[in-house]
Amino acid sequence: MAADIFLAPDVFVNASVALGSPPEHVVRRVLGGGAKVKTTEWVLDRIEAMLNNVEAFKKEAVTAQMSTIRGLVEIVDGGAHGPDAWAPALAAGARAAGASRVITDHPDLADQSEIDGVSFISSDAWLVEVTTPPPPPGTK
């Protein structure tokens, strides 16, 4: 299931600064699967820029955090996008990664139906999905 999802930069950032939050649980589940998760340089650039703007995150810790994240991901080519082109950059990144869904809590994107064949889901919704047991056999 983790191979079919693509993590947005806000999820990585929230996981980095808000321990115990849904984004942190998502990142732990996704990155804890053993295989490297695919991402793009656009996502990594946004993570670094966002971490540098979080007052509670020490500036000297950004380099170490980025090194940790880079060690857990495989970089794929999602094309060139401007820093504010979230929807097209994430959709292109997901397609390059072979994923059909993006997990994001971005207020303009979370739980949208679809953009360029890629659906967007919030970290809360994804956690509910992966932790809800299937219905008993023979029920609908």
Counted residue by residue, the chain has a size of: 140
Rounded CA separation 1/6 (Å): 11
The mean of the pLDDT values for the chain is 88
The per-residue pLDDT for range 6-49, each reduced to its tens digit, is 999 999 998 888 888 888 888 888 887 777 889 999 999 999 99
Return the structure tokens found at 116.
């360029």
Three-class HEC string of the chain: CHHHEEECHHHHHHHHHCCCCHHHHHHHHHHCCCCCEEECHHHHHHHHHHHHCCCCCCHHHHHHHHHHHHHHEEECCCCCCCCCCHHHHHHHHHHHHCCCEEECCCCCCCCCCCECCEEEECHHHHHHHHHCCCCCCCCC
Predicted confidence (pLDDT) per residue in 62-112, tens digit: 999 999 999 889 999 999 999 999 999 999 999 999 999 999 998 888 766
The pTM score is 0.87
Domains and CATH numbers, the chain: 2-129 (3.40.50.1010)
Q: One-letter amino acid identity for 132?
A: T
Phi then psi for 137, rounded to 5 degrees? -55, 140
Residue 107 φ then ψ, to 5°: -60, -25
Say if residue 1's pLDDT is above 60: no
- The percent of residues in the chain predicted with pLDDT above 90, rounded, is 50
